Amino acid sequence: MRRLSVAAISAFAFAQVAAPAAAADITTKAEPPLAAPVSFQWAGGVYVGINGGYAFGRHHDVTDLETVNGQFSAIGTFGSLEPKGGFGGGQFGVNAWQYGGWVFGFEADFQAASISDSSAGTVVNFLPGLNATVTSTNKVEAFGTIRPRFGYAWDRLLIYATGGFAWGQIRHSFAFADNFNFRAQNSTSGMQAGYVIGGGLEYGFTRNLSAKAEYQYIDLGSEDYVAPLLFCGIAPCVTTAFVEHTSMRTNFHTVRLGLNWRWGN
């Protein structure tokens, strides 16, 4: 009877110690693990936005080549052009794919612009005894791009490179005059195509709203302009066999800020 009492007492003491430990173990296992932090998602949905900025062109000499019946007559440099000015417009696009931090998408933009410069230069003895003056203006009235974007995101901050097709509406005017009353002028407006390269960074304030800062270099190539030379010493002016030729390349740098609104993600 005594031996049984000792065994019972031992079993009771073990139960008193083991039960709280087992309960604590069950409670610990029942607690759910902490959720992993969710990073900002760039992919999915389309976006539209607005942008504005400043453009500055590269220095280009204004060169006039004169021919007569298709043969070389004279050539001279009449000042230079370095267009600059502001622009503003909008863009739309999609971040089509995201793998980890890598983000790939497409964007197109359109801007109205006033990127221009004018020059006037005089060349003494352009031909023997003939002093010639040329005035010239080059203006980008609008431009746009279509391009892929490829970048890497650190949560809400996306850094990207971009490049593709570019176009611009260009207005060019040219006027030649000399001291023998010869005159030539030409004014044309048309679209030129080229390429764009650049990059930028974008920050997502919310799932829908983001802001960006971007640089682009746009090259729209060269365009040749031709104007017949008129003799205006008598009225009316008479067309001669001489022709004035100019060539102007349009390329410029842009820096801009923009806002994007994304939905559907």
- Closest by CA position to 218, among listed 94, 84, 55: 55
Sign of CA dihedral 198, 144, 89, 50: negative
Instruction: For residue 228, give the H/E element and its range.
Output: strand 209-231
The predicted pLDDT at position 15 comes to 47
Map 148-165 to HEC letters. EEEEEEECCEEEEEEEEE
Q: Which of 188, 181, 173 is nearest to 236 (CA)?
A: 181
In this predicted model, what pLDDT tens digit does every residue of 71-80 receive, in sequence order? 999 999 999 9
| Whether the Cβ atoms of residue 131 and residue 180 lie closer than 8 Å to each other | no
Q: Are 242 and 194 in contact (CB under 8 A)?
A: no
Tell me the pLDDT tens digit for each residue of 88-102: 999 999 999 999 999
Adjacent-strand bridge partners of 99: 102
Give this prediction's pTM. Answer: 0.82
The domains located in the chain, with CATH, are 32-263 (2.40.160.20)
Q: What is the mean pLDDT of residues 191-204?
A: 97
